Structure 1
């Protein structure tokens, strides 16, 4: 017999009709198909609502985390805080206009005197860049050199008195100085990464030349060259330090010294200078100290009030080449008392032919290796003395 139990559908009791003769009843059945479909639809709607709600919460959380990470990343740098904001919709402006409106707020005018110039006189000698919102400003050392009074005029303070600034420290070799004014919540510039700058990039120079009427002056051009190495000799030691400069055809006037050289994003990529590379400052050739070079110097000034450079203690070294041109090195003319070279045993007339396991052919090569070390390092050295090779370990001071 065929089993029909598998095809019996779920039913519910509905109604019993009694026969007239009272002998029996008839049972009527109604399927639950309509209720079943309704329940399925409700479940589907609830599932969609839950999925949409959870997706929205998850998406909001991820977006919030990414936004927080972006803000954290932008504020993590010592130099990237309090970026100026103009409150103007810049979407339709060209990059130079946007940069000018933003960065010019962080560029100040600097006037110097020996207490014989009255406040308010338009006798500005240079520019500076606010890099910390509590009043720290970087400028060229030659802007403040030889003067006792330093007056700083903010870009939005044409009708207000200038601030008196105190000198935090300076470095004459790199021509950089840090000064400070007592003013809170200033618009600090954002320092970029000059290693990413390429020839042909847009260069925007901002400064305050020639007084209030020319404050926030903007010139634009391109980056003409990168990694222009200019050697500056310390007259006291004869040691030459090489600095990395950016070359631009954007006009840099005397009053622009200490001002900002920016990229299209409004990041400072260089500090305008007319002193370093001054012999080459001709029309269409301006120079700026690359910001990566400047960052290390600024940090050292902020920490120590000056730049502490590693020093061997060798005075006025000279390049050496033997008569047969087979031997090259650095000739030691004189050593400083109590310096690393003297304490290690280096003497006048020695010829340094190897330093830190690298063969040396010039004093610039020697100094480059020294600059890669820090004060306190002990570095192996090989010299020729009276025709004999002698090895030393020199402690850098």
Structure 2
């Protein structure tokens, strides 16, 4: 029998624990071991495949949730602590200290299994990925939660000298959606991008496309890396948040217009998008 392990964060009274979706994916049973060696059976409350998050629950009503901090305003060089339980090692071995390298501008990514897009803020630290594991907490020096780790995120970044975390602001939003049982409609774009920097990208403001899935309708329509999306479905696009809002408005399968800056010229594309339940 194959046994997988990961970390989790007690984030809400009543025994609610936040972890990564891939940690519990396909599990026939889930056991939670606390710092005091007590072991509980856990049930899955809900998951978010797109953002690799899961909420599980144990029957331990008196547990104290972690204090919530904020990733807003974090600066390079700020000291942080990574807390986890990699490879099942004892808890006292698994507090790692490091510093903030950057808090990125929002990135659009795509879940390759579902095609669903996402916009995330990513914290990069000097803590080595080998010393952390999925579902582990990133805390400030006050012990407040500011981010959650994902091995999947670190593998996708392909680095061995720094680690990446989802900000607590994003995690709280998606966790709330899980707890509320919301089925938000998302669309399949299949792109990976970031906000264009006018000083370096021909003075154009919009979403700079870094990668396009060859299986996506966006690729079929002609969208390519280095294109800059300036308008989508009639909405002007300057920032990632504009793109995210425009995409979320599409609730049915339809063809939308997309204006891009490509090879020195503006060009219109017609992209078929699908409203999908998350």
User: TM-score normalized by structure 2?
Assistant: 0.69
- Flag the 1:277–1:252 CA change in 2: closer, same or farther, 3 A: closer
How far did residue 147 of structure 1 move?
1.8
Using the alignment, how far apart are the partners of 2:130 and 2:190 within structure 1?
Answer: 34
Judge which range, 202-211 or 128-137, deviates more.
Answer: 202-211
Q: Deviations over 1:91-138 (max 9, x none)?
A: xxxxxxxxxxxxxxxxxxxxxxxxx47xxxxx7611000011210000
Using the alignment, how far apart are the partners of 1:315 and 1:354 within structure 2?
Answer: 14
Using the alignment, how far apart are the partners of 2:108 and 2:51 within structure 1?
Answer: 10
1:145 is matched with 25
Runs of 5+ unmatched residues, structure 2? 194-205, 210-215, 224-228, 260-267
1:68 is matched with none
The aligned runs of 1:327-342 (5 Å cut-off) are none
Using the alignment, how far apart are the partners of 1:317 and 1:155 within structure 2?
Answer: 41
1:23 is matched with none
2:14 is matched with 134
1:72 is matched with none
Aligned residues: 238
Please tell me whether the aligned partners of residues 84 and 133 of structure 2 are also in contact (alpha carbons under 8 angstroms).
Answer: yes
1:284 is matched with 161
Structure 1 residue 301 corresponds to structure 2 residue 178: yes
Aligned-pair Cα RMSD in Å: 4.1
Q: Deviations over 1:332-383 (max 9, x none)?
A: x859xxxxxxxxxxxx96999843644469xx89843435x56779xxx757
- Flag the 1:271–1:356 CA change in 2: closer, same or farther, 3 A: same
Please tell me whether the aligned partners of residues 71 and 169 of structure 2 are also in contact (alpha carbons under 8 angstroms).
Answer: yes
1:218 is matched with 95
- Flag the 1:177–1:254 CA change in 2: closer, same or farther, 3 A: farther
Please tell me whether the aligned partners of residues 82 and 132 of structure 2 are also in contact (alpha carbons under 8 angstroms).
Answer: no
- Flag the 1:253–1:382 CA change in 2: closer, same or farther, 3 A: closer
Using the alignment, how far apart are the partners of 1:251 and 1:317 within structure 2?
Answer: 28
Higher relative contact order (CA 8 A, sep 6+): 2
2:5 is matched with 125
**Which aligned runs of 4 or more in structure 1 are off by greater than 6 angstroms?**
348-353, 394-397
1:154 is matched with 34
- Flag the 1:149–1:243 CA change in 2: closer, same or farther, 3 A: same
How far did residue 282 of structure 1 move?
3.1
- Flag the 1:184–1:369 CA change in 2: closer, same or farther, 3 A: closer
1:194 is matched with 71
2:80 is matched with 203
1:179 is matched with 56
Instruction: Tell me which of 352, 359, 368 is aligned to 2:244.
Output: 368
Using the alignment, how far apart are the partners of 2:133 and 2:191 within structure 1?
Answer: 36
How far did residue 250 of structure 1 move?
2.1
2:197 is matched with none
- Flag the 1:178–1:254 CA change in 2: closer, same or farther, 3 A: farther
Runs of 5+ unmatched residues, structure 1? 1-115, 118-122, 320-327, 336-347
Higher fraction of strand: 2
Using the alignment, how far apart are the partners of 1:367 and 1:382 within structure 2?
Answer: 13
Higher fraction of helix: 1
- Flag the 1:190–1:383 CA change in 2: closer, same or farther, 3 A: closer
Please tell me whether the aligned partners of residues 124 and 255 of structure 1 are also in contact (alpha carbons under 8 angstroms).
Answer: no
Q: SS of the counterpart of 2:172? A: helix
How far did residue 211 of structure 1 move?
2.5
Using the alignment, how far apart are the partners of 2:28 and 2:178 within structure 1?
Answer: 19
Q: SS of the counterpart of 2:46? A: strand
1:93 is matched with none
Using the alignment, how far apart are the partners of 1:148 and 1:173 within structure 2?
Answer: 22
